[in-house]
Structure 1
């Protein structure tokens, strides 16, 4: 009984900490997405794959922005995506083959706004990870867009090191 009460109190303390946690707002725009270098699904319907991929990126950007102050807003305008790997025929099926020559690349611009909607920082960015296969501690192993998410994590850490809530 005593142990159950301790678990309950611990859970309430943890939940209480999360309820006060605030995050920056995120807005993601997908400019000219029909012209992106590689957003090919292989066997899956292209439109559904694209929608699912964009939602996954948007969720990841929101997770990254959770470490920014609540009164800020991060606006991203994605202008090109080239996913890791390349879609090739394997027999009668089309599959994504991942090799070092097919590295992930994402082009975008971003703006970080303060509470007064003034730009704190912003830039056009062309991310690419030529050594994406050599990362030993891949945090997103066996997850969708693992190489791209790892690349975005590195960019975010470097770009917003002074802005994150500690």
Structure 2
């Protein structure tokens, strides 16, 4: 019984391939259009939270690329879906259809020898973010994740 278990574990390991390398730089997030925390806490901690969550999502997407490639991303602006409004006792992020998510970045895809395969400057915005089905429905950054998924799929998976 133990031998079978070890075999399946080893077989599973032999099929898992490392993802492409990803390098992401968040250039001056304090100057981004909208990365305000509302009641979340300090602006700096919220910026760190947002960049960590979105970086992790970029990493998840990069897992679909061949392992020998390297994806470099430099984010230059971010505007989260919704807008922070001041209420009676607190600030909250209100999601309205006119406050669309946006992100601006440049990316570069390199092969295993460091040769550039593609480079582009990207200005994403999702004007219909609030009317589509979203597979990240229970996530704070569901609209941004979906927008990045759409870009990645159109750029790398089904160009």
For normalisation by structure 1, the TM-score amounts to 0.87
Aligned equivalent of 2:152: 156
State the 1:161 CA deviation.
Answer: 2.0
Matching residue of 2:113: 116
Q: Distance in 2 between matches of 1:140 and 1:14?
A: 31
Secondary structure of 1:160's aligned partner:
helix
The alignment's C-alpha RMSD in Å is: 2.0
Report the alpha carbon displacement of residue 108 of structure 1 after superposing the two structures with TM.
0.4
2:38 corresponds to 1:42: yes
- 2:19 is aligned with 1:28: no
Q: Aligned in 2, Cα 1:99/1:71: closer, same or farther, shift over 3 Å?
A: same
Partner of 1:87: 84
After alignment, is 41-50 or 76-85 more displaced?
Answer: 41-50
Higher deviation after alignment, 153-162 or 68-77: 153-162
Paired with 2:148 and 2:131, the residues of 1 have a C-alpha distance of 16
List alignment gaps of at least 5 residues for structure 2: none
Aligned residues: 158
SS at match of 2:38: coil
Runs of 4 or more consecutive aligned structure 1 residues displaced over 4 Å after TM superposition: none
Aligned residue number for residue 103 of structure 1:
100
Residue 145 (str. 1) matches residue 141 (str. 2): yes
Unaligned 5+ residue runs, structure 1?
Answer: none
